[in-house]
Copies of this chain bind each other. A is one copy, B any other.
């Protein structure tokens, strides 16, 4: 019997073959170029999916919180970077983790360096977070003297082992593949310029890692480490940016159709903000909260042209369709929403149903 039959409410489907292929590709790319691959596990958040990386030879990972570091440490990961500015209010948790595993932390403030240096009793590796253009976190790559101050602050403390400079070039999230590659290389160049200037103090590694750049740049350039995460599943945003193809997307939310409104070419689905999250694509004409596909034999199909999730309430989604597609869909059917941002949808859902009917939990449902 078809797997669709058993689905009663919003359910996150995982196409394991596609995810494993995505993992294999990125591992091969890094290996060929002799670059350390430290994948970001915030996208899948699952010990079981982590094992697929281990089979490819991965031993070091990236996470986005100390809670996530604790979860993966409990599941046997011994080398973890927390890619978030170290939070000095969680010093006890940091200390506990630093005792158990090889822990790498990010800093961008002298206060944080001092607090870690004075408090920690176990050694940790430190990366200085650099802003190469995204304007989110990190010291701007042009502010050499501030970075130099932080280098000196860090090196003052015996337990803080300064490893290098790290960036997330979030400004590669733009709907133009050529521009993505250009911005990726520009970020790598900025990091290397900073590394050269800092050579008078110490030798530093360079870590970068964003899915658009690491997917599209054929040559990853002069870096020691990449840390992409989203590539494991991709999503509607990456598709919109030209980073992936529909067949590379490994997750979709199966949603029951609960009402039809032919007069406005819309259907109502059970599947809302608490399932998909409210990230959106603004394509200049519409705000899009998800793409739409129909069931095929044993997977969801390609995104229906012109169809999209127009709005999300707490539990409802409103889906705009062509009149031809409207006729194919009945109340009680399942449709499939390709999420705009797979990391947030996975976090919201907390578990996956694989296409062969197995449930995989994330850390949120353990």
Contact = CB atoms under 8 A, between A and B. Distances in A.
A344 B137 contact: no
A8 B87 contact: yes
Q: Which residue among A111, A268, A331, A343 has the maximum number of chain B CB atoms within 10 Å of its CB?
A: A331
Size class of A's contact patch? Answer: 35 or more
A315 B109 CA distance: 18
A85 interface: yes
Contacts of A311: 136
A93 interface: yes
Interface stretch (A179-187, A189-197, A271-279, A300-308): A271-279
A203 interface: no
Interface in A350-366: none
B135 A259 contact: no
Interface in A312-334: 313-316, 318, 330-332, 334
A331 B279 CA distance: 28
A137 B259 contact: yes
A44 interface: no
B136 A331 contact: no
A332 to B, nearest CB: 5
A260 interface: yes
Given A115-B332, A264-B135, A277-B278, A270 B314 contact: no
Nearest to A168: B313
A66 B315 CA distance: 11
Interface of A: 7-9, 42, 64-67, 84-90, 92-93, 108-109, 111-112, 115, 135-137, 140, 143, 170, 256, 258-260, 263-264, 268, 270, 273-274, 277-279, 311, 313-316, 318, 330-332, 334, 343-344, 347-348
Given A90-B256, A115-B332, 14 more contacts: A9-B66, A9-B67, A9-B87, A64-B315, A86-B258, A87-B256, A87-B270, A88-B258, A89-B334, A108-B268, A109-B331, A112-B331, A137-B259, A274-B344
